Amino acid sequence: MGGGRDLDLEASGVLDLRFLTTPVPVLRRPHGRVRLEAHVGGTAEALELLGEGQVEEGGFQVRGTNAVFEELTGSLSFSQNRVIFDGAEARINGGKATMSGEVELVRMLPTRLRLEAQLEAVPVAIPAYLPVTLSGRLEAAGTPEETVVTGRLHVLRARYTENVDLEKRAVELRRRRDAAARTYDKAAEWLRFDLQLAVDGDARIENDVARGGVRGELSLVGSLAAPGLVGSLVMTEGSRAMFRGNEFVLGHAVVDFTERNRVEMALDVHGDSRVRDYQVFMHVFGPLTEPRLALTSSPPLSQPDIITLLSMGYTSRDTPASAGVQGVATAAAAQALISASGLDEQVRRFVPRGEVLQDLSVRVTSAYSEGASQAEPRAEFESWLLKDRLKLRFQAPLTGARAGQKAQAELRLGENTSLQYQWDNETPDKRAGDHGIDLRLRWEWQE
């Protein structure tokens, strides 16, 4: 063939699997050995290999994944331009796998593969904050440049324990989604998925927002570079949700996955909680990146009253003679809004960064107004200057009124002394406002 001489060689020995590093770049850190008893025939341009081999203590990691194969053992047979294996065993991340399949060779290099594997309690963590344990059957077929994984796996165990902080979730998930876009690796498109996932084992959510079991059917699609999920998960009966220290019984909680090239979730969650003499109903809906929260009650309350009922246990109806309760309620509702919208984060983006301004905080609070004779909601800005020596604070009514503004500056003179200046315009008859300076001393002692 091609003018080459026919080969007729007997080969016997041990082959170090580290040689696969260059010809099979999808494998990371291959190790172990193969004991060979084979006959080499054909020509230099078209080698033919006949014989048998035994893999011992083999292992490797699949490129771009956290799937680590260890303790790989099994028999191989070489038939012309194919390597065939059946009943090979390995540990994947500590779980057990039994594999069979074949690899096609051209000039002794792998060009196409077909793999079938039966998994038993294999732990994986994709993404890292969601560890799961899987069992079932999967198949991989293709070339080193493009391989498709199919099959059906059962989720034996899964725990989602990462705290959510529902009121800031939109901001946090936008950051995570942007970070994911920046780390996109086109080279990882070599591995594609069409894999069915049955979430029918001990799968639970246990974090600051929800506690309960999860069931459903998902399809893992897309590629290793841009994996996606399609399907639905439902929280089981008896699941609970927490919001502002109150437990809500979930009557309906569904998460829909809708995108084929990314993990995009849409929520539809209904729950209710008994708070004093009120039944409060919660509805969380929309995409997880921008969730919306609707609160209603029976007997009916205003939104500020529902917020203060959940946050502090009372409403404006409890003290009708004090109009200040409504101001506190409005402040609590405004703080929930500013946290959920990420307005405090947006304000920080426009403040120069460096050593001048440090630890800038933006929040909504309430304070008693002498002019209005009631508590009013106020926006408060606070920051340190001069390396934690000078603290500035400014308050202004959310109503936009000029009266009720307050500014404070505190200069630390030492560990136990500070000088504080304060200005406010609470007194209507003083156009320039009130000014005051205090010298503060502090001592601590132990008996």
Residues 195, 261 within the same domain? yes
Residues 73, 14 within the same domain? yes
CB–CB of 246/274 below 8 Å? no
pLDDT at 350: 44
Give the Cα separation of 110 and 20 in Å (integer).
10
Find the range with the poorest average confidence among 124-128, 184-188, 374-378, 425-429.
Answer: 374-378
Range of the domain at 349: 340-441
Residues 76, 208 within the same domain? no
pLDDT at 165: 66
pLDDT at 16 over 50: yes
309 belongs to a structural domain = no
Residues 292, 159 within the same domain? yes
Report the number of distinct structural domains present in the chain.
Answer: 3
pLDDT at 194: 94
315 belongs to a structural domain = no
Q: Which of 119, 151, 175 is the last residue of a domain?
A: 119
Averaging pLDDT over each range in 245-254, 365-374, 380-389, which range is the top one?
A: 245-254
> pLDDT band for position 343 (50/70/90)?
very low
Residues 73, 142 within the same domain? no
Residues 111, 130 within the same domain? no
pLDDT at 155 over 80: yes
| pLDDT mean across residues, the chain | 79
Decide which of 356 and 109 is more confident.
Answer: 109
> pLDDT band for position 74 (50/70/90)?
very high
Q: Quick one: average pLDDT of 71-91? A: 90
Residues 258, 164 within the same domain? yes
Q: Quick one: average pLDDT of 357-382? A: 63
24 belongs to a structural domain = yes
104 belongs to a structural domain = yes
Q: Quick one: average pLDDT of 118-144? A: 88
Please tell me the pTM assigned to this model: 0.65
Residues 112, 155 within the same domain? no
Residues 272, 353 within the same domain? no
Single out the residue of 206, 89, 186, 95 nearest to residue 146, CA to CA: 186
102 belongs to a structural domain = yes
Give the Cα separation of 122 and 64 in Å (integer).
18
State percent of the chain over pLDDT 90: 33
Q: Which of 119, 153, 185 is the last residue of a domain?
A: 119
Residues 135, 114 within the same domain? no
CB–CB of 203/158 below 8 Å? yes
Give the Cα separation of 36 and 153 in Å (integer).
35
Residues 74, 142 within the same domain? no
321 belongs to a structural domain = no
Residues 134, 265 within the same domain? yes
